[in-house]
Amino acid sequence: MIKTQIQLPDELYRAAKEVAARNEWSLAEVVRRGLEYVVSVYPGLRVPREEWKLPGPFDLGLKKDFFSDPDWRAEVNLSSSALSVIREKRGPGYGGKKRR
């Protein structure tokens, strides 16, 4: 343990002595606890890192833009054979073309 000297304003010294007396601590214990609290709340200076930037778009390997089709959910979630059955039932206007 290191022994040191500090200077305190009179009012702070009296308040610290009062806290020590109420808790049956020494003045040194009050100072140690106060310093432990301050150090835990204000961690040391960190080495500045490179500023984080939002990564750019990723290539997901999609062959087409599914969102251009109003029924994109069916196309994404159904197998190609199930999708062809639905297209047959709905007619030639289904899939990829805008409805009016």
Q: What is the pLDDT of residues 9-57, one digit of tens each?
A: 999 999 999 999 999 999 999 999 999 888 888 877 665 677 878 888 7
Whether the pTM exceeds 0.85: the reply is no
Tallying the residues shown for the chain, one arrives at: 100
Q: What is the pLDDT of residues 60-74, one digit of tens each?
A: 777 777 677 777 777
Q: Tell me the domain boundaries of the chain.
A: 10-41, 61-100
Local confidence band at 83 (pLDDT 50, 70, 90 cut-offs): low
Could you give the angle at which helices 27-41 and 10-23 cross, rounded to 10 degrees?
100
DSSP secondary structure of the chain: ---------HHHHHHHHHHHHHHT--HHHHHHHHHHHHHHHSPPPPPPPPPP----------SS-GGGSTTHHHHHHS-HHHHHHHHHHH-TT-SSS---
Q: What is the pLDDT of residue 94?
A: 56
